[in-house]
Chain A
Amino acid sequence: MKEQIVVIGNGMVGYKFCERLLEKDTQNKFQITSFCEEPRPAYDRVHLSSYFDGKTADDLLMAKIEWYEDNGITLHLGDKATIIDRKAKLVTSSKGITIPYDKLILATGSDAFVPPVPGIDKEGVFVYRTIEDLDKMLAYSKNVDHCVVIGGGLLGLEAAKAAQDMGLTTEVVEFAPRLMPRQVDDEGGEMLKNLIEDIGIKVNLNKATSNIAGEGKVTGMEFADDTSLTTDMIIVSAGIRPRDEIAREAGLTLGPRGGILVNDNLKTSDENIYAIGECALYNNMIYGLVAPGYTMADAVAEQLVGRDAEFKGADMSTKLKLLGTDVASFGDIEPKDSSVKHLRFNNPHSGVYKKIVVSADGEKLLGGVLVGDADEYGTLLQIYQNGMKLPEDPMTLILPANDDAQSGIGIGDLPDTAQICSCENVTKGDICSAIENGACSIGDLKSCTKAGTGCGGCMPLLTDLYKHQMAESGVEVSNALCEHFDMSRSEMYDLVRKTGIDNFATLLAKHGKGLGCEVCKPTAGSIFSTVFNRPILEHAPLQDTNDIYLANIQKDGTYSVIPRIPGGEITPDKLIVIGQVAKDFNLYTKITGGQRVDLLGARLNDLPKIWQILVDAGFESGHAYGKSLRTVKSCVGESWCRYGVGDSTALAILIEERYRGLRSPHKLKSAVSGCTRECAEAQSKDFGIIATEKGWNLYVCGNGGMKPRHADLLASDLDQETLIKYIDRFLMYYIKTAERLERTSTWMTKLDGGLEFLKDIVINDSLGINEELEAQMQHVVNTYECEWKNAINDPEKIKRFTHFNNSQAQDETVQFVLERDQIRPANEEEKLSVTI
């Protein structure tokens, strides 16, 4: 008969206890049952606010429901445990299930503390605790536009972020004279208040709410100082209250102000019942952070498998990002002892405040606060926790670093017992031994030690330690593309240029190993194309998605076709051809963002026929499928526009036709505007040109897309010849030195010496390579041919454009439905069934 373990509560700590006990239960002697009041298993409450920026409830789960089944845990979801019969050792739930226990673990957590203010029960008042709370808020927020968060502590500021993410004008109301009164000091609180007000959230301090106004629904708030606020929604985040009602009913000893009293073994007043997490009162303290809860969970699991383990209290050090601002604090930040020294760095201009508290003799670090920049948190926490001796001038620890070596404390100085990850209690020693046992990446370390899998706050430290240990053992942290090639993209590019190797088999045999993969194959293919510029299909096996069929694969396995329309200029006859092709092949038609036409829903078998018609009408491939030049947008310029000062359309066509087909580390976009009104949006492109009265201005390394970056001005008032030279040099230097899939914008931010360095190369030939770069580009220009045309004229290549090798049938699993008079892929519910 297995020992029956019942866990009441399946929050983060309840889950962690199950996980830990499973790990330690090597003899398989426990049967775990858990009651969970919420409708879903444990999820990550620490990152709850990410629910508002795209994470789903499923993304937040600590473990999927299958994990419980696979590990033999009986989980009663949506069923709250209500009665503990201590004599008979039984637990009964609200659904009437009764289960015997040998050992009972209370992990009931906490509720939001709702102050007893008149009117607090009105519609429009919410607490910020569960996913259901968030759903209710989301629904309510659609009809209101202002929200007040009561509570300026850690959770309150999280809630304020959530309210702001919901698109509400948000204010915070705090009873204390400063924000986060437990974690920061007055100056830190002041800095934090300024940073938060800068992003548009008003902060009201010293406010005691005396009444919530409104007829049924919230319309405002009144405060003890006779001031008031108008608002139509309130989130209460004024602290937590331990969930001790089931313990109270069962007659367990509670603290005078609630909380289930536990001893060093985390045992309650009943020998067989433990309490862990936010419901447990240890040494007069409720720990409202997840890390101590995890430590408690581990200590109880340890004892159940027969080993000694005590909880000795936990460090309340914390580092968080609130509303985009780093806040960290550790140790005693306001000691009563007046002989200690407070060292402060305060820069309102950059929004950074740091303070460390140092013992009177200057030897020991007692505590600290960091607001606005918490990069030193890892180092400071280690010094504090390990009682390490401070450097001669402790101020160097918080002054803006000019050089990492300055602080005098390196990761190498830490003792092996230093805790790196507090969520999972992983020490430096654990990580070093994992590295000695063959862990050779951050991913390896995360999976075998679990460090960095909790709040993620230790990742910078973990990365530093990893690099340090690797360097110690003489292993350089590799910039290798993948396991098949021990070189970076730019090294591979230089190698291909130098050796003239023009095929993957030779490259792999001489410089790589294995079969290659989705990283090195397309990289090599792209490099061969830039250097030798042979038709891409000669490297078909190297292409991972689109290039292999010279078209863009869509979600249903059909393809889209985009003919090149240089500069966005097109004749009516050509437009008619595109329309006719779309009609004949039943394609969905859409104008793209790049002044071209996209034809979607083409089947593999139809691609050659479609291209034949387009090529015959004078079109060519638009390379929308390649990591290569896409489009050069333009405005109508001086030909038509009353403001135009340059012929932007003509120049856009010239540039697009010059660089068409050029393969690069990532896609390249460009635009030409005929005047400073910038209608073609040239400053959001990899390279963009704007006409001036005196010539052309060249802007580089801009980006729309995921991380927008405004382009930088590289040179002004150029004549056309110089402009083309500069672009040649710029593009070829980028292709030579960028990493795989690195857009020019990212490449620029990483370039040592930045824009000035780049200007120096392109304009002053500081590296003496411009002639070479121009010649390389000229080769690409001279050897250009349309990839579609090349394919349809080659029976060997075109043979591959059928769905089946042994049948001319269409793929019947591709199905469309009509929407707004055009086709779109049928979704799973709309599709007829398919055999595999």
Chain B
Amino acid sequence: MYTQWHAVGKKTDFPQDLGTCVKVNDKQIAIYHLTDGNWYAVQNLCPHQKRMVLSRGLVGGDLEKPSVICPLHKRSFSLKDGQLLSESKDCDNIKTYPVKLENDLILIEV
């Protein structure tokens, strides 16, 4: 398995504090641009009900441990390492992807 960086849009295409879903090859990836200026990318599939909805989740948590909360059943995952943070441990962690910003373009490594 080799990875490469993919450009997925301009910085301005990603509103702050909201998730946005992008398509890379045949993968769906959710990207979050937080108030503190940090960028995160994770799988769009919520492992709990196997639906492509994480990009529509609310982001929150602490500055050190930002998280996304799935809109279907409020399972929450760390944006940094994909760990399931909810008390009910009834689904897997999620995959995270490296993100970088180059000349106002957002790139993710898939």
Task: Say yes or no: is A548 at the interface (Cβ < 8 Å to chain B).
Answer: yes
CA distance A806 to B27 in the complex (A): 12
Also in contact, A835 and B23, with CB within 8 A (given A541-B16, A544-B58, A545-B71): no
Contact between B23 and A809 (Cβ–Cβ < 8 Å)?
Answer: yes
Contact between B27 and A515 (Cβ–Cβ < 8 Å)?
Answer: no
CA distance A804 to B30 in the complex (A): 9
Contact between B9 and A806 (Cβ–Cβ < 8 Å)?
Answer: yes
Task: Say yes or no: is A46 at the interface (Cβ < 8 Å to chain B).
Answer: no
> Interface residues of A: mostly helix, strand, loop or mixed?
loop
* Residues of B1-55 whose CB lies within 8 A of A: 8-9, 13-18, 20-23, 26-28, 31, 34-36, 43, 45, 49-53
Contact between A555 and B23 (Cβ–Cβ < 8 Å)?
Answer: no
Contact between B34 and A515 (Cβ–Cβ < 8 Å)?
Answer: yes
A601 to chain B, nearest CB (A): 14
A202 to chain B, nearest CB (A): 42
Contact between A553 and B56 (Cβ–Cβ < 8 Å)?
Answer: yes
Contact between B43 and A836 (Cβ–Cβ < 8 Å)?
Answer: yes
Q: How many interface residues does B have (CB within 8 Å)?
A: 42
Contact between B69 and A517 (Cβ–Cβ < 8 Å)?
Answer: yes
Contact between B71 and A544 (Cβ–Cβ < 8 Å)?
Answer: yes
Task: Say yes or no: is B100 at the interface (Cβ < 8 Å to chain A).
Answer: no
Task: Say yes or no: is A178 at the interface (Cβ < 8 Å to chain B).
Answer: no
CA distance A813 to B66 in the complex (A): 27
Contact between B13 and A805 (Cβ–Cβ < 8 Å)?
Answer: yes
> What residues on B are CB-neighbors of A800 within 8 Å?
15, 18, 20
Task: Say yes or no: is A26 at the interface (Cβ < 8 Å to chain B).
Answer: no
Q: Which residue of the partner chain, among A514, A541, A803, contacts B58 with CB atoms under 8 Å?
A: A541
Closest-by-CB residue of A relative to B87 is A443
Contact between B45 and A805 (Cβ–Cβ < 8 Å)?
Answer: no
Closest-by-CB residue of A relative to B14 is A805
Task: Say yes or no: is A533 at the interface (Cβ < 8 Å to chain B).
Answer: no
A36-51: CB near B (< 8 Å → 1, else 0) gives 0000000000000000
Closest-by-CB residue of B relative to A513 is B62
Also in contact, A807 and B23, with CB within 8 A (given A521-B60, A541-B17, A555-B51): yes
Task: Say yes or no: is A811 at the interface (Cβ < 8 Å to chain B).
Answer: yes
> What residues on B are CB-neighbors of A805 within 8 Å?
8-9, 13-14, 20-22, 31
Contact between B76 and A518 (Cβ–Cβ < 8 Å)?
Answer: yes
Contact between A515 and B45 (Cβ–Cβ < 8 Å)?
Answer: no
Contact between B22 and A514 (Cβ–Cβ < 8 Å)?
Answer: no
Task: Say yes or no: is A634 at the interface (Cβ < 8 Å to chain B).
Answer: no
A356-391: CB near B (< 8 Å → 1, else 0) gives 000000000000000000000000000000000000
Contact between B50 and A514 (Cβ–Cβ < 8 Å)?
Answer: no
A656-699: CB near B (< 8 Å → 1, else 0) gives 00000000000000000000000000000000000000000000
Task: Say yes or no: is A110 at the interface (Cβ < 8 Å to chain B).
Answer: no
Contact between B45 and A834 (Cβ–Cβ < 8 Å)?
Answer: yes
Task: Say yes or no: is A730 at the interface (Cβ < 8 Å to chain B).
Answer: no
Q: Which residue of the partner chain, among A514, A814, A835, contacts B63 with CB atoms under 8 Å?
A: A514
A552 to chain B, nearest CB (A): 10
* Residues of A498-518 whose CB lies within 8 A of B: 505, 514-518
Contact between B71 and A811 (Cβ–Cβ < 8 Å)?
Answer: no
* Residues of B64-106 whose CB lies within 8 A of A: 66-67, 69, 71-72, 74, 76, 95
Contact between A804 and B71 (Cβ–Cβ < 8 Å)?
Answer: no
> What residues on B are CB-neighbors of A814 within 8 Å?
52
Contact between B71 and A553 (Cβ–Cβ < 8 Å)?
Answer: yes
Also in contact, A553 and B53, with CB within 8 A (given A544-B58, A806-B22, A835-B27): yes
Task: Say yes or no: is A556 at the interface (Cβ < 8 Å to chain B).
Answer: yes
Closest-by-CB residue of A relative to B69 is A518
Closest-by-CB residue of A relative to B20 is A805
Q: Which residue of the partner chain, among B13, B22, B28, B72, contacts A811 with CB atoms under 8 Å?
A: B28
> What residues on B are CB-neighbors of A834 within 8 Å?
45, 50
> What residues on A are CB-neighbors of B107 within 8 Å?
none
B44 to chain A, nearest CB (A): 8
A178 to chain B, nearest CB (A): 44
Contact between A516 and B60 (Cβ–Cβ < 8 Å)?
Answer: yes
Q: Which residue of the partner chain, among A514, A541, A556, A811, contacts B18 with CB atoms under 8 Å?
A: A541
Task: Say yes or no: is A271 at the interface (Cβ < 8 Å to chain B).
Answer: no
> What residues on B are CB-neighbors of A434 within 8 Å?
none
A62 to chain B, nearest CB (A): 16
Contact between A543 and B58 (Cβ–Cβ < 8 Å)?
Answer: yes
* Residues of A802-835 whose CB lies within 8 A of B: 803-807, 809, 811, 813-814, 828, 834-835
CA distance A549 to B21 in the complex (A): 14
Contact between A555 and B72 (Cβ–Cβ < 8 Å)?
Answer: yes
Task: Say yes or no: is A540 at the interface (Cβ < 8 Å to chain B).
Answer: yes
Q: Which residue of the partner chain, among A505, A541, A553, A803, contacts B59 with CB atoms under 8 Å?
A: A541
Contact between B58 and A518 (Cβ–Cβ < 8 Å)?
Answer: yes
B75 to chain A, nearest CB (A): 11
Contact between B49 and A555 (Cβ–Cβ < 8 Å)?
Answer: yes
B25 to chain A, nearest CB (A): 9
Contact between B52 and A515 (Cβ–Cβ < 8 Å)?
Answer: no
Q: Which residue of the partner chain, among B56, B58, B60, B95, contacts A836 with CB atoms under 8 Å?
A: B95
> What residues on B are CB-neighbors of A557 within 8 Å?
51-53, 56, 72
Q: Which of the listed residues B20, B21, B57 has the most CB atoms from chain A within 10 Å of its own CB? A: B21
> What residues on A are CB-neighbors of B26 within 8 Å?
835
Q: Which residue of the partner chain, among A544, A828, A836, contacts B27 with CB atoms under 8 Å?
A: A836
Contact between B61 and A517 (Cβ–Cβ < 8 Å)?
Answer: yes
Q: Which residue of the partner chain, among A514, A545, A556, contacts B51 with CB atoms under 8 Å?
A: A556
Closest-by-CB residue of A relative to B7 is A806
CA distance A573 to B47 in the complex (A): 44
Q: Mind listing 29 A-B residue pairs with CB under 8 Å? A: A483-B62, A505-B35, A514-B61, A517-B58, A517-B67, A521-B58, A521-B60, A540-B15, A542-B58, A544-B57, A544-B71, A546-B71, A548-B18, A553-B53, A553-B56, A553-B72, A555-B51, A555-B72, A803-B21, A804-B21, A805-B13, A806-B9, A806-B13, A806-B23, A807-B23, A813-B45, A834-B45, A835-B26, A835-B27
Which residues of B approach A to under 8 Å, CB–CB? 8-9, 13-18, 20-23, 26-28, 31, 34-36, 43, 45, 49-53, 56-63, 66-67, 69, 71-72, 74, 76, 95
Nearest 8 pairs of A and B residues by beta carbon? A517-B60, A541-B17, A545-B71, A514-B62, A544-B58, A557-B53, A557-B51, A518-B69
